[in-house]
Amino acid sequence: MAAQPPKYKPNPKAPRQALPLLNAEVRSRTPEEVALGFTPEQVSVEAQRCLQCAKPTCVDACPLHIDIKRFIARLADNDWQGAHDVISEQSPFPGVCGRVCQHELFCEDSCIVAKKWDPVAIGSLERFAADHARLRMKELAGSYPQPTGKKVALVGSGPASLIAAYDLVRLNYQVTVFEALHKLGGVLAYGIPNFRLPREILHEEIARLQNMGVEFVVDFIVGKTATLEELFEEGYEAIFIGTGAGLPYMMGIPGENLVGVYTANEFLTRINLMEAFKFPDSPTPVRVGKHSVIVGGGNSAMDAARWAKRFGSETTILYRRGRAELKARLEEVEHAEEEGVHFEFLSAPVALYGDENGYVREMECIRMELGEPDDSGRRSPVPVKGSEYRIPVDTVVAAIGQAPNPTLQKVTPQLITKRGKIVIDDHGQTSMPLVYAGGDVVRGGSTVILAMKDGRAAAKAMHEALSVEKPEEVEA
Contact segment (CB under 8 A) with other proteins among 1-9, 45-53, 260-268, 429-437 equals 260-268
Which of 246, 297, 438, 455 binds other proteins (CB under 8 A)? It is 246
Residues 6+ apart with CB under 8 A from 475: none
Q: Which residues contact 428 (CB under 8 A, 6 or more apart)?
A: 436, 437, 438, 454, 457, 458, 461
Of the pair 4, 357, the CB lying nearest other proteins is at: 357
Nearer to other proteins, 53 or 221 (CB): 221
Q: How far is the CB of 248 from other proteins (least distance, A)?
A: 5
Q: Is 263 in the site for other proteins (CB under 8 A)?
A: yes
Which range of residues in 122-130, 251-259, 298-306, 320-328 is near other proteins by CB under 8 A? 251-259
Residues in contact with other proteins, counted by CB under 8 A, come to a total of 42
247 binding other proteins? (CB under 8 A): yes
Q: How far apart are CA 207 and CA 203, in angstroms?
A: 6
Stretch near other proteins under the rule CB under 8 A, chosen from 37-45, 61-69, 264-272, 378-386: 264-272
Restricted to residues 51-70, the positions that interact with other proteins (CB under 8 A) are none
- Closest approach of Cβ 253 to other proteins, in Å? 11
Closer to other proteins by CB, 94 or 223: give it. 223
The CB-of-127 to other proteins minimum distance in angstroms stands at 29
Q: Closest Cα partner for 92 from 189, 175, 202?
A: 202
Q: Which residue number, 133 or 181, has a Cβ lying nearer to other proteins?
A: 181
- Measured from the CB atom, is 136 or 278 closer to other proteins? 278
| 274-293 binders of other proteins (CB under 8 A) | 274, 279-285, 287
**Is residue 219 involved in binding other proteins (CB under 8 A)?**
yes
Q: Judged by CB under 8 A, does residue 224 bind other proteins? A: yes
Of 1-9, 69-77, 217-225, 383-391, the window that binds other proteins (rule: CB under 8 A) is: 217-225
Residue with smaller CB distance to other proteins, 71 or 262 = 262
- Should residue 412 be labelled a site residue for other proteins when binding is judged by CB under 8 A? no
Which of 82, 406, 420, 444 is close enough to bind other proteins by CB under 8 A? Answer: 406
Minimum distance from CB of 198 to other proteins (Å)? Answer: 19
The distance of closest approach from Cβ of residue 184 to other proteins in the complex, given in angstroms and rounded to an integer, is 13
Q: Under the rule (CB under 8 A), what is the footprint of other proteins?
A: 180-182, 190, 218-221, 224-226, 246-248, 250, 256-260, 262-263, 265-266, 269-270, 273-274, 279-285, 287, 357-358, 405-407, 410
